[in-house]
Amino acid sequence: MKKKSLIMLSSTILMSLSLPILSNAQQWITDGTGWQFQKDDGTYIMNQWEWLDPDNDGTAECYYFNESGYCLMDTTTPDNYTVNERGAWTVNGAVQTKVVEARTYVTENGMERYALEGRYYAPEANPYINDATYQVIRNELFAKLQEKLSLSPLGDYSRRFYTYLVCQSVSFSTKEEEEKILNMTRQVCYEIADYINENTGEKIKEASAARFLAGGDLGGSSHNPGIEFKIY
């Protein structure tokens, strides 16, 4: 069967409205020729079918990508299946779906980090777990979290505003120090997100590692690491 055009103007407009970015690497992208799907590792799906859950609702649709990585739309695939104007596999006009595990997100410095099974922290992926500075940051931030939890439920404040936890025992003033210490703090951020989700009855909406102006440093050259978060 003769292929129809892969991309039509109406399909492009519809796709741009309905296919959100999933993470800093995993996303639908278009180059004016067609739509491709970039995976977490920066590569593209090519020459195969793929179940995708663009809106993260736990229900995936199936898409076919050709040898150049473009999603076929409003046509018949090489193996004789029909896809609609959005590229989803259909049978007699009905989009075919399957249930998948929804991804859970935590916003980390403006980028969404996902974790399957609802967890963000993985000890085996933490290169700082035995670092003394990391342990200082972790212990102080967890102590401050417990202090806040002892005063009132987190939701009393952080549903509307950010809650901040700052480690005042550690500071940095150079770019090199900042990168390493904030990377350590991100690991603590992931662990605290898991703790809140699993032990408080609250759920993390956004969480990120951040730097805070160190006390008394009016010049702004010295900072403390910390985290900021909001909950549902």
Residue 144 or 5, more confident: 144
For residue 128, which of 140, 136, 117 has the smallest C-alpha distance?
136
pLDDT of residue 38: 84
pTM here is: 0.53
* Mean pLDDT, range 39-55, rounded to an integer: 84
Per CATH, the homologous superfamily of domain 9-99 is Cholin Binding (2.10.270.10)
pLDDT above 70 (res 2): no
Answer for the pair 64, 77: CB distance below 8 angstroms, yes or no. Answer: yes
Other Cβ atoms closer than 10 A to 10: 11
Rounded CA-CA distance 59/165 in Å is 36
Question: pLDDT of 78-137, one tens digit each?
Answer: 999 999 999 999 999 999 999 876 656 666 544 455 554 567 887 888 889 999 999 999
* Mean pLDDT, range 182-208, rounded to an integer: 89
Domain boundaries, the chain: 9-99, 107-231
* 64-102 residues labelled b (16+ CB within 10 A) or e (exposed): bbbeebbbbbbbebeeebbbbebbbbbeeeeeebeeeeb
Positive or negative, the CA dihedral 40, 45, 48, 51 is: positive
pLDDT of residue 171: 94
Treating both helix axes as pointing N-terminal to C-terminal, what angle do 175-199 and 132-151 enclose, rounded to 10 degrees? 40
pLDDT above 50 (res 63): yes
Answer for the pair 76, 3: CB distance below 8 angstroms, yes or no. Answer: yes
pLDDT of residue 123: 85
Cβ contacts of 167 within 8 Å, gap of 6 or more: 136, 137, 140, 141, 185, 224, 225, 226
Q: Would you place residue 219 in the very low, low, confident or very high pLDDT band (cuts 50, 70, 90)?
A: low
Question: pLDDT of 128-175, one tens digit each?
Answer: 999 999 999 999 999 999 998 888 777 666 666 788 999 999 999 998
CA of 117: how far to CAs of 17, 101, 195, in Å?
29, 8, 14
Answer for the pair 137, 174: CB distance below 8 angstroms, yes or no. Answer: no
